[in-house]
């Protein structure tokens, strides 16, 4: 299974490359795409409704400010959605954090920390999810743990 990384803006790429780097460490194929819930809603919808048939098992969605992207992604898929709030609005990215963590019942988004730590943890959590059905990923997760949670 692969992981789809969706971010709202090209400027989010330096942060979300942390997710990509960690997914590569775990041997997890991934694809990173810029698609804004506000500027490209049709693209986001298409990515989400076709993700599972394209072999994706988890979606990481990152956004700042109003941070609608992770919630919109959750509305269009049954896959686990991991939300990464990004800095850019209120100090510390609290606006994005609140937007992602305060999802209505029935539309879950696993919300991580703001910024690079959240991007890394989203990849690690995705690896743990996929490890449930993949012994190779499970072995890498255990190795990561034994190495003091460092790649």
Binding residues, as ranges, are: 9, 12, 39
DSSP letters along 10-34, please? GGGHHHHHHHHHHHHHTT--EEEEE
Give start and end residues of each alpha helix (H) in 26-148.
41-51, 69-76, 94-101, 116-131, 135-146
Closest CA to 108 of 63, 61, 66: 61
Q: Residue 21 CB: number of other CB atoms within 10 A? A: 13
Tell me which H or E stretch contains 3.
strand 2-7
User: Per DSSP, what are the bridge partners of residue 33?
Assistant: 6
Q: Which two tokens stand for residue 35?
A: 């698609």
Q: Which residues are annotated as a binding site for substrate?
A: 9, 12, 39
């Amino acid at each position: 299974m692969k992981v789809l990384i969706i971010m709202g803006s090209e400027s989010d790429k330096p942060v979300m490359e942390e997710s990509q780097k960690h997914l590569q460490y775990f041997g997890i194929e991934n694809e990173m795409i810029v698609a804004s819930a506000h500027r490209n809603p049709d693209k986001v919808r298409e990515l989400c409704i076709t993700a599972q048939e394209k072999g994706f098992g988890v979606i990481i969605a990152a956004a700042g400010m109003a941070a609608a992207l992770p919630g919109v992604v959750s509305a269009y898929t049954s896959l686990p959605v991991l939300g990464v709030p990004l800095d850019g609005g209120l100090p510390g990215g609290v606006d994005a954090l609140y937007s992602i963590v305060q999802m209505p019942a029935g539309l879950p988004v696993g919300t991580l920390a703001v910024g690079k730590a959240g991007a890394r943890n989203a990849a690690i959590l995705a690896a743990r999810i996929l490890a449930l059905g993949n012994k190779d990923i499970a072995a890498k997760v255990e190795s990561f743990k034994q190495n003091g949670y460092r790649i």
